[in-house]
């Protein structure tokens, strides 16, 4: 169980963000609380940015466990620097750069070990070509769009999406984790899918059958 592991590791069992933590949505408040070592403020950062960061890492680190480790270590380093950030943009930039460097180190290690000789050069080439393609959306680029829109979901929908789509948990397990009933989980998933479909259709970035295939795991538990 990766998504809740880091906040619990750092903060204890009472640190997971709640619907009442809207105060942290105010950037000056969030940054001030991070400087005060407020662990709930950091849990808000973790909850808010985990999806996008994990999906970014997973594009380059294909092994699920290794991608989880890279993402977790990135957030640990973010926590260690919590008092140094002067803006939320700086937090996001730090997460992205740190994760990118960790992916680079991971692929270098694979290349040295001979496990995937071409992984390193392929990664660099894909980085240089990022956002430059004009041949329509691939599954990876679609996943990027899905993750971007998922970060904009309301907090409870975002948590259900993470626990289902990324962690692959069943509806009942999600219900137990979030202390809600099974039907509420189903309702949250339906609302999340409705939001994502509408957001992505409006941007004309995918074919409906491809999104359906990509989200099949999210809906199918």
CA distance to 68, 98, 151, 183, 212, per residue, from 166 (Å): 10, 21, 13, 20, 16
DSSP H/E element including 190: helix 182-203
> Among all chains, which residue has been given the structure tokens 């509420």?
184
pLDDT tens digit string along 181-211?
Answer: 989 998 988 888 888 777 776 655 545 545 5
Here the tokens at position 16 are 């997971």
Residue 199 confidence (pLDDT):
75
Q: What's the pLDDT band for 137 if we cut at 50, 70, 90?
A: very low
pLDDT in tens, 158-167: 888 888 877 7
Q: Which residue has the higher pLDDT, 6 or 182?
A: 182
Token representation of residue 46:
């973790």
Helix extents (H) in 27-63: 27-35, 39-60
Give the residue-averaged pLDDT of 113-139. 52
Predicted pLDDT at 63:
85
**CA separation, residue 163 to residues 1, 68, 100, 122, 177 (Å):** 9, 13, 24, 30, 9
């Amino acid at each position: 169980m990766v998504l809740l592991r880091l906040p619990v590791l750092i903060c204890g069992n009472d640190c997971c963000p709640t619907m009442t933590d809207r105060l942290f949505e105010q950037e000056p408040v969030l940054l001030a609380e991070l400087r005060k070592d407020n662990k709930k403020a950091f849990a808000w950062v973790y909850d808010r940015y985990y999806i996008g960061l994990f999906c970014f890492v997973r594009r380059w680190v294909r092994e699920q466990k290794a991608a989880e480790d890279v993402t977790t270590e990135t957030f640990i380093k973010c926590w260690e620097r919590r008092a140094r950030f002067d803006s939320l943009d700086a937090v996001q930039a730090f997460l992205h750069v740190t994760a990118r460097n960790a992916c680079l180190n991971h692929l270098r290690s694979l290349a040295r070990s001979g496990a995937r000789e071409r992984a390193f050069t392929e990664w660099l080439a894909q980085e240089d070509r990022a956002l430059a393609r004009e041949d329509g959306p691939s599954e990876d680029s679609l996943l990027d769009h899905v993750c971007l829109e998922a970060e904009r979901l309301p907090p409870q929908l975002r948590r259900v999406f993470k626990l289902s789509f990324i962690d692959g948990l069943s509806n009942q397990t999600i219900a137990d984790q979030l202390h809600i009933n099974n039907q509420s989980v189903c309702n949250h998933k339906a609302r999340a899918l409705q939001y994502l479909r509408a957001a992505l259709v409006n941007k004309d970035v995918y074919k409906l059958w491809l999104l359906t295939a990509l989200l099949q795991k999210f809906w199918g538990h």
